Amino acid sequence: MAGGRGARRVWTLVLVLLALVWLIPIVWMASLALQPNDLLARTTSNVAWGLIPWPFTLDNLAFVLGSGLTPRWFLNSAIVAGGMTLAVLATASLAGYAFARIPFPGKRVLFPLVLAGLVIPEQAVFIPLYTQFAEWGWHNGYLALIAPRVAVPIGVFLMTQFFRGIPTYLDEAAALDGADRWVIFTRIMLPLARPAMTTLAILTFLYAWNDYLWPLVSASRPEMFTITLGLASLQSNFAQSEGLGRVMASGVLASLPVVLLFLLFQRHVVRGIAMGSGK
Amino acid sequence: MTSSAPTRSRAARRVRDAVAGYLFVGPFLLAYVAFLLWPFARGVWISLHDWNLLAVAINPDAKTFVGLDNYVRMLWGDGLVWSLDHQWGVRLLGLALVAGALWAWRRGAIGRGTALAAAAAGLLVFGFALGLHPGEGGRWGDRRFWPIVGNTLTFVALTVPAVAAMGLALAIGLNRDDRRSAVLRTFFFLSQVLSVTVVTLIWQLTLSPRQGLIAHAFRSLGLEPLAWVTSPDLAMPAIVIATVWWSLGFAMILFLAGLQEIPAERNEAARLDGAGPLQLLRHLTLPALSRTTTLVVVLQIILHFQVFGQSHLITRGGPNDATQVWVRYIYQTGFRNSELGDASALAIVLFAFMLVFALLQMRASRGEA
């Protein structure tokens, strides 16, 4: 038994060490963002391989927040991620409720047709979407960045599953009292769906904030970049290490919202992943 | 009057439901058709054309219908021959994997359908397809396509087992209700929420032979730092390392969800019967997780098949196409070379490849693994 406990202790130690190794690259990015630019031009390993930010400065963060396009990219990301989240929540909850509860003609054909869209990846449609939006003059606008994701049926799938799980007597009782579909949906169903919608909202926001391929294709004007895309454009000239601290500061700022969101809503993120992959 | 009223109200209710149903589904359906179904159909249409991005932008009629030419040129070539010993090393390895899949099925680690599908695909690819090559005077229609498919498969083959195995090990190690495990789970998952451009930013610098963290560690051990990104042999491992670091948390979470479904009494009973940790793992945990394992592997294959950012930003597909991957090839064919017809054909074939795995995922999540 003592051997078992010893083995457990070694195993725990291995896990803790591994977790620290996993964190080190993130800590390093943050630490470099807090060191002076001219120092970084000479060395990235000033104290403890650069893992301890010394000499310490907030200049890089202040610079990135106060000048250049980074504040604009931040705003763009907030608009795109926020808009996409609202649009997905609205369309997915409406459609999910209808598919789960309202008997309408054609539903049996429509629902499988919608689910079939789950197998079409973004990579299979980004070329034709590009030409389509070019014809419509949508590129370099927020709508172009938001709309394609609203069409992805995973949200409808999750909401349909959720509404199917709610006992029918609730809406039947309301219907007997003369409430119409809209009242039942807004007064009874939506409040019950809050947990599922929070999960869907967080996953959509994370996706929107981090999306790279489609913004890269659609937004060509730097003023329309999202922070994720803008960060990629900064990386091209960073080999010379000019402004390394500033690039790292942009990386830190770009990560802050998603990291905070994850830490605050960890439970939802974890459950969303399990749900979204069909568990 | 009294008898027809309920009928009429039932009919009225049906009409109201039909109207409500379509009003509720309408907004999503509009987006679905306009931004997914229609573009997909249009993609197939474009792939049947010689379609230059710039030329068609100036003059919409500047495209020519070429039927399946784009596909034939991509997939096939002139004067191809088949021989038994072409690329025999890789093919033997692949056939060994097929044998492995069949063995895993016999042992009950994976389902019958999955095993047979994997074996059939493996035989087709390794037994037959890799034996094809241009004979004397022959050549491929697109010399870069198959090597790029090979790179993508190599990336998937290196990343997925590493992520799955480490994710499983971590899930088993951290499947406890104490605070320490919760904190460690958060640490391991944290990298997952970063965007691909933050991940590439971090790893581009971490791997740098002059400024990188790994180079610092190598130097302090008295070793010569490695030029990861510019070396033909290390570039692929470099983006694999970055990807494993990035996506481990996802696999861990799914395995944890799977572990929660195993009743604690079963572990307890087995332990009372004198089973050691390794026996427990082999005879109880792994078989109970077989559905989850299939799901994790299939999801990871789908996910990493679409790799783009790591290759685009860390190695830029290089050196010499060593890390050029399928999606980046689509992107470059379409937006660097302006050949939208070829790019769409590439995208449709990628879709067909991934469709197989998407269908496998649906089977796995329905519990028929």
pLDDT in tens, B95-138: 888 888 888 888 776 777 778 878 888 888 888 888 888 888 88
Nearest to B164 by CA among B286, B42, B274: B286
Distance from CA of A39 to the nearest CA of B (A): 12
Structure confidence at residue A237 (pLDDT) = 62
B25 to A95: CB separation less than 8 angstroms, yes or no: yes
Cβ contacts of residue A178 below 8 Å, gap of 6+? none
Structure confidence at residue A126 (pLDDT) = 94
Using a CB-CB cut-off of 8 Å, the residues of chain A touching B257 are 274, 279
- Cα separations (Å) of A165 from A94, A118, A201, A253, B364? 16, 21, 19, 40, 22
| Burial of residue A169 (number of CB atoms within 10 Å: 0-12, 13-18, 19+) | exposed
Distance from CA of A165 to the nearest CA of B (A): 17
B232 vs B274, residue with greater confidence:
B232
Same domain? For A145 and A219 the reply is yes
B39 to A213: CB separation less than 8 angstroms, yes or no: no
Q: Does A245 touch chain B (CB under 8 A)?
A: no
- For residue B240, the Cα-to-chain-centroid distance in whole angstroms is 13
A238 vs B361, residue with greater confidence:
B361
Residue B259 is assigned to a structural domain of this protein: yes
Structure confidence at residue B5 (pLDDT) = 60
| Burial of residue A69 (number of CB atoms within 10 Å: 0-12, 13-18, 19+) | middle
CATH code for position A102: 1.10.3720.10
Q: Does A52 touch chain B (CB under 8 A)?
A: no
Same domain? For B34 and B156 the reply is no
B254 to A103: CB separation less than 8 angstroms, yes or no: no
Instruction: Over range B65-92, report the average pLDDT.
Output: 85
Question: In the block, which residue shows the tokens 């570039």?
Answer: B235
Contact B193, B271 (CB under 8 A): no
Domain end call among A57, A75, A96: A57
Listed by number, the residues of chain A in 97-116 with a beta carbon closer than 8 Å to a beta carbon of chain B are: 97-99, 102-105, 107, 110, 114
Structure confidence at residue A277 (pLDDT) = 67
Distance from CA of B90 to the nearest CA of A (A): 28
Same domain? For B32 and B110 the reply is no
Number of separate domains in chain A: 2
Structure confidence at residue B363 (pLDDT) = 74
Using a CB-CB cut-off of 8 Å, the residues of chain A touching B314 are none
Same domain? For B195 and B327 the reply is yes
Q: What share of chain A is helix, strand, coil (3-state, %, to 5)?
A: 75, 0, 25
- For B95, the domain range is 81-140
> Mean of the per-residue pLDDT values for chain B?
87
Instruction: Over range B80-84, report the average pLDDT.
Output: 83
Q: How confident is the model at residue B83 (pLDDT cuts 50, 70, 90)?
A: confident
Structure confidence at residue B1 (pLDDT) = 45
Same domain? For B196 and B313 the reply is yes
Structure confidence at residue B360 (pLDDT) = 76
B327 to A123: CB separation less than 8 angstroms, yes or no: yes
Closest residue to A110, CB basis, from B25, B45, B212:
B25
Domain end call among B111, B140, B169: B140
Structure confidence at residue A242 (pLDDT) = 54
Whether pLDDT at B367 is above 70: no
- Cα separations (Å) of B66 from A57, B60, B61, B345? 61, 16, 14, 12
B32 vs B90, residue with greater confidence:
B32
Nearest to B161 by CA among B297, B308, B22, B282: B297
Please compute Rg for chain B using Cα positions: 26
Cβ contacts of residue B73 below 8 Å, gap of 6+? B141, B142, B342
Distance from CA of A118 to the nearest CA of B (A): 8
- For A109, the domain range is 64-276
**Token digits of residue B244:** 């494993």
Size of interface A-B (CB pairs under 8 A): 283
Listed by number, the residues of chain A in 26-45 with a beta carbon closer than 8 Å to a beta carbon of chain B are: 26, 28-29, 32, 43-45
Structure confidence at residue A241 (pLDDT) = 45
Using a CB-CB cut-off of 8 Å, the residues of chain B touching A154 are none
Domain end call among A36, A57, A78: A57
Same domain? For B99 and B199 the reply is no
pLDDT in tens, B189-243: 999 899 999 999 999 888 988 888 888 888 888 888 888 888 888 999 999 999 9
Distance from CA of A24 to the nearest CA of B (A): 9
B27 to A238: CB separation less than 8 angstroms, yes or no: no
Whole-number percent of chain B with pLDDT over 70: 96
Domain end call among A41, A57, A73: A57
Same domain? For B204 and B314 the reply is yes
CA distance A81 to A227: 11
Number of separate domains in chain B: 3
Same domain? For A13 and A146 the reply is no
Residue B347 is assigned to a structural domain of this protein: yes
Contact B300, B251 (CB under 8 A): yes
Same domain? For B206 and B100 the reply is no
- Chain B: residue whose CA lies nearest to A125: B40
Distance from CA of B155 to the nearest CA of A (A): 17
- Chain B: residue whose CA lies nearest to A252: B198
Q: Does B257 touch chain A (CB under 8 A)?
A: yes
Closest residue to A102, CB basis, from B20, B57, B212:
B20
Whole-number percent of chain B with pLDDT over 90: 36
Q: What is the 3-state secondary structure (H, E, C) of chain B?
A: CCCHHHHHHHHHHHHHHHHHHHHHHHHHHHHHHHHHHHHHHHHHHHHCEECEHHHHHHCCCCCEECCCHHHHHHHCEEEEEECCCCCHHHHHHHHHHHHHHHHHHHCCCCCHHHHHHHHHHHHHHHHHHHHEEEEEEEEECCCCHHHHHHHHHHHHHHHHHHHHHHHHHHHHHHCCCCHHHHHHHHHHHHHHHCCHHHHHHHHHHHCCCCCCHHHHHHHHCCCCCCCCCCCCCCHHHHHHHHHHHHHHHHHHHHHHHHHHCCCHHHHHHHHHCCCCHHHHHHHHHHHHCHHHHHHHHHHHHHHHHCCCHHHHHHHCCCCCCCCCCHHHHHHHHHHCCCEHHHHHHHHHHHHHHHHHHHHHHHHHHHCCC
**ipTM value:** 0.88
CA distance B190 to A206: 13
**Token digits of residue B24:** 């509720």
Sites in chain A below the pLDDT cut of 50 = 1-2, 241, 279
Same domain? For A27 and A154 the reply is no
Same domain? For B178 and B295 the reply is yes
Q: Does B213 touch chain A (CB under 8 A)?
A: yes
Instruction: Over range B271-299, report the average pLDDT.
Output: 83
Instruction: Over range B291-307, report the average pLDDT.
Output: 88
Listed by number, the residues of chain A in 159-188 with a beta carbon closer than 8 Å to a beta carbon of chain B are: 180-182, 185
Q: If you ran DSSP here, which 8-state letter would residue A48 be given?
A: G
pLDDT in tens, B159-186: 999 999 999 999 998 988 888 888 999 9
Residue B74 is assigned to a structural domain of this protein: no
